[in-house]
Structure 1
Amino acid sequence: MELRHLRYFVVLTEELHFGRAAERLHMAQPPLSQRIRDLERELGVRLFDRTRHRVRLTEAGALLLEHARPVLESADAAREAMRRIRPGAAGVLRAGVPPDTAPVTLRTLVDTFASMEPSVLIDLNEMTTDEQLARLREGELDVGMIRHPADTVGLESGPVVHRSLGVVLAEEHPAAGAETVRLRRLNGSPLVIFPRLMAPKLYDHMLTVCRDNGFLPGAIRHARNPHFIHGLVLAGRGVHLNEEPSAGLPPGLVWRPVDERSLTWSTSVVWPRAHTADVVATFADAALSGLLAAGHVHPR
């Protein structure tokens, strides 16, 4: 039995709804259901009665809840005690960055940080925005680089910088010949976009901006691997909103700016409020230098 399984169990007892519990835990509903089934299988009891319309705690579940809460409270107290230790004091700073962070950003970040904190190693972890937020709140990361809009309640944030997005199109797309593409010219085209679980607030923001500017996708296809994304666009299966590629595109694809300035990668460094050590500020400054080197700008 793992602590995270007990935490999933307790959140579900509070919500009595798998969808709401999964949202609180920053995870999809099917994995949550599977973890609860695993816990029931391990304990040999049924913890919840489930119907199509309701979820109810069983007698065995109520008994487990009495034991689970003190265990989690003790674990949280221990974690909070560890949070008071200066990040980087053990020689390692645990940091998260988005999966598609530009190489120049990482190089600048690492080089700048190393020159200022040579005795501290950055443990860089490739994570989505919501994965980082969850790990920061669980005390499993010291600092993160996330995309906005995002739920940063309880976290401190450095400056938010922006990089304008454009659209990746197949050369034969009717809008490919324009110098700047009006979003309404994409109306009806399928949209290839990252899965919503990666950054729900950003995902919703992008679709709202598209809708408000006359671009209603004919279909939405989810992808996160650049090769797969480019393959879909090249095959005529959609268009893709992203920053201008630094390494060029495969033959048959073009990138064009769009006419809506609110479509940006808006990025900042965030950290728990308990982490006020100089090493965190150094990381934030190094990350900002890396983002600016990759073409992000401060808001005007």
Structure 2
Amino acid sequence: MELRHLRYFAVLAEELHFGRAAERLHMAQPPLSQRIRDLERELGVTLFDRTRHRVTLTEAGALLLEHARPILEGAEAAREAMRRIRPGASGVLRAGVPPDTAPRTLQTLVTAFTERVPDVLVELHELTTETQLGRLREGELDAGLVRHPCDTVGLASGPVVHRRLGVVLPERHHAADQELVRLRVLNGSPLVIFPREMAPSLYDHMLAACRDNGFLPGAIRHARNPDFVLGLVLAGLGVHLNEPPAGALPAGLVWRPIDEPRLTWSTSAVWRPAQAGDAVAAFADAALEGLRAADHT
């Protein structure tokens, strides 16, 4: 017994008229009559008494209707539940972004997303790359904005864009007066960097690039909060690799470009392929627009 045949039966039981039932079902009357006959043959009962002027339910038809209604209601509830788990179907798209995402990127992302899908609210969560990947795979996020390299196996990804990193130094550091800092001249300086658990692959990539260029940190200090990072550098407790500052650095600090093109913030939108849809596509496009507005190329 097919679910669609039960639906045909239930509509005819409500209308008790083949013409009106066929109209509701967006089908011609002869195929509807054939499907009802097929159902009667399958069940071995007569579901409707038919005369030239009227259609009535038989006792068997009335009994089947009692069983069919909860089945059809349950199927509709299941369909609605599936619609609601699709990103944007509930009116909200849940997305993660790195904690240090530039204000210009966030402003552009939200504005561009709203222009593309005005009926969907983007709900942004400040999350590390590793946390985003876990929540995407668990279905707790609809999309994310992550830093590469990272493990995106099983996820879809938008274009990866890049922004070269430089180094934040105390003014009194011996490399502070150089227009382009060669990483090897930082050898022995402590390094202030985000904790590895935030983005393990990116962390390892950055330390490998430093090592390959002759920069072996004398110590590694971990910090998440940007103000804490700058405070450690200002106190002479390390140097810090980051993109050009959006505003003025605190007095006593300078930012200088470095000679290693592999050290970049490489960023893209990611999502589960099964979650792809208009809202996710709008997020990916808006995220790319936001990153480019903050000089990612």
User: Shift in Å at residue 82 of structure 1?
Assistant: 4.8
2:287 match:
287
| Distance in 2 between residues matched to 1:119 and 1:84, nearest whole Å | 14
SS in 1 for 2:227: helix
Confirm or deny that 1:213 pairs with 2:192. Answer: no
Larger radius of gyration: 2
User: Do 2:84 and 2:90's aligned partners in 1 also have CA atoms closer than 8 Å?
Assistant: no
5+ long unaligned stretches in structure 2? 1-77
SS in 1 for 2:131: helix
Give 1:260's aligned amino acid: E
SS in 2 for 1:227: helix
Q: What does 1:236-247 align with in structure 2 at a 5 Å threshold?
A: 236-247=236-247
Confirm or deny that 1:116 pairs with 2:113. Answer: no
2:34 match:
none
5+ long unaligned stretches in structure 1? 1-77
| Distance in 2 between residues matched to 1:210 and 1:155, nearest whole Å | 29
Give 2:291's aligned amino acid: L
1:234 match:
234
Identity of aligned residues (%): 73
Give 1:152's aligned amino acid: T
Give 1:125's aligned amino acid: H
TM-score under structure 1 length normalisation: 0.71
User: Do 1:83 and 1:274's aligned partners in 2 also have CA atoms closer than 8 Å?
Assistant: no
SS in 1 for 2:123: strand
User: Shift in Å at residue 262 of structure 1?
Assistant: 0.4
User: Do 1:190 and 1:219's aligned partners in 2 also have CA atoms closer than 8 Å?
Assistant: yes
User: Shift in Å at residue 219 of structure 1?
Assistant: 0.2
2:59 match:
none
Q: What does 1:36-47 align with in structure 2 at a 5 Å threshold?
A: none
User: Do 1:169 and 1:233's aligned partners in 2 also have CA atoms closer than 8 Å?
Assistant: yes
User: Shift in Å at residue 86 of structure 1?
Assistant: 2.4
User: Shift in Å at residue 84 of structure 1?
Assistant: 8.3
User: Shift in Å at residue 279 of structure 1?
Assistant: 1.1
Confirm or deny that 1:249 pairs with 2:260. Answer: no
TM-score under structure 2 length normalisation: 0.72
Confirm or deny that 1:89 pairs with 2:89. Answer: yes
| Distance in 1 between residues matched to 2:169 and 2:83, nearest whole Å | 46
User: Do 2:170 and 2:253's aligned partners in 1 also have CA atoms closer than 8 Å?
Assistant: yes
| Distance in 2 between residues matched to 1:248 and 1:159, nearest whole Å | 30
* Counterparts in 2 of 1:281 and 1:203: CA distance versus 1, 3 Å: same
SS in 1 for 2:208: helix
| Distance in 1 between residues matched to 2:230 and 2:277, nearest whole Å | 42
User: Do 2:83 and 2:89's aligned partners in 1 also have CA atoms closer than 8 Å?
Assistant: no
Equivalences, count: 218
